Amino acid sequence: MPGLEDLYREIILDHYKNPRNRGSLEPPAVRSEGHNPLCGDEIEVFLTVDNGVISDIKIGGQGCSISQSSASMMSAAVKGKPVAEARALIHRFKHMMSIDEDGEPDTSAPLGDLEALQGVVKFPVRIKCAVLSWNTLAEGLDIAAE
Ligand code: ZN
């Protein structure tokens, strides 16, 4: 029986090789970008928010497999979701990555494939890679709320 780590590696590789929601959106879609200079990762997040729901999201940028697969999983997890749910997921993901934020996360937010990234916690230098797209999403949501 294949171990959980093998399964997780497969999920990460699949998202890296076949990134979901890759591309860009024209204005008035919101655009935010994030950089992780430690690793050279770049992430662009394009968002359309309609009536409090993320109706469309596209991801651009380049970088290591962790940063790009995390961005792909993030886009799949929040597309079509209410902004409040996406924010809860950001909180929960960062909590999983051992990044302390105020309060306990809402554990009802389903992590699904995202749990595959949990192993990254063992490699502190890679945590920034995994969290980059989530911070960039949070920034985009802030811009969309203005
Ligand atoms: Zn990286």
The CA 28 to ligand 1 mean position distance, Å, reads: 29
- What's the topology of domain 2-145? Sufe protein. Chain: A (3.90.1010)
pLDDT at 1: 52
The CA 81 to ligand 1 mean position distance, Å, reads: 26
The CA 35 to ligand 1 mean position distance, Å, reads: 10
Task: Supply φ then ψ for residue 85, to 5 degrees.
Answer: -70, -40
Q: Where are the domains of the chain?
A: 2-145
The CA 86 to ligand 1 mean position distance, Å, reads: 23
The CA 13 to ligand 1 mean position distance, Å, reads: 14
The CA 87 to ligand 1 mean position distance, Å, reads: 23
User: For the chain, what percent of residues have pLDDT higher than 90?
Assistant: 73
pLDDT at 2: 60
The CA 37 to ligand 1 mean position distance, Å, reads: 9
Taking each helix axis from N to C terminus, what angle separates 83-96 and 124-145, rounded to the nearest 10 degrees?
A: 160
Tens of pLDDT along 4-58? 788 888 999 999 999 999 999 999 999 999 999 999 999 999 999 999 999 999 9
Average pLDDT over the chain reads: 92
Beta strand pairing call for 30-36 and 53-62: unpaired
The CA 12 to ligand 1 mean position distance, Å, reads: 13
